Amino acid sequence: MTLALSVLVFGYLDIVTRRVALKVPPADVDDVAHEAILSAIRSAFAGESIGEFRAWLNRITLRRIADYHRKLEGKPKTVPLLSGDEEDDAGWGEVPTTDFEGVRVDAERAIETAYEGLSEAHQRIVDAYVFADRPASEVASAEGTSEDNVHQVASRFRRRVRELLEDGDS
């Protein structure tokens, strides 16, 4: 089991940690990321997860980030005076952090909304060209369309995301 877990954790921890780092102060990133991975693995082993592991992990990650911010409300922001080895029994202390300039916790909804507004063909174009960084010529060929159209679809998608963010209507 340990090898299987290692493969799973190695495969996803970096991605989850980076997602958490966008919205959580550095001192708490590992904590929240580990909690998300653990929750997803636990659910998978207990047969409680819905759909494939990756989709479940994505959902759990957002939930843990939201939980973090809910718990944080009203609490002073602190970071450990000492960091690193948990087994180090030297004393701990607390100092106030400088403000962490996080991003909107719900910013991803703008992407979801804009993405869901696309046709399936255009979603494939956005997936391949915008998020998988494949060349426009290759995407155009795969989708039987022109490079110009690929650029236009991507551009419309980005414009829609921006509108939603500006409106706060995402």
95 bridge partner residues: 79
Q: Does 139 bind other proteins (CB under 8 A)?
A: no
Among the residue ranges 10-18, 117-125, 138-146, the one whose residues contact other proteins (CB under 8 A): 10-18
> Which residues ranging from 80 to 119 are in contact with other proteins (CB under 8 A)?
80-81, 86-94, 101, 103-104, 107-108, 110-111, 115
Q: What is the DSSP letter of 73?
A: T
Would you say 150 and 143 are in contact if contact means Cβ atoms under 8 Å apart?
Answer: yes
Rounded distance between C-alpha atoms, residue 53 and residue 43, angstroms: 9
Among the residue ranges 37-45, 116-124, 142-150, the one whose residues contact other proteins (CB under 8 A): 37-45
Contact set with other proteins (CB under 8 A): 1-3, 5-7, 9-15, 18-19, 21-23, 26, 31, 34-35, 37-38, 41-42, 45-46, 54, 58, 80-81, 86-94, 101, 103-104, 107-108, 110-111, 115, 127, 130-133, 158, 161-162, 165-166
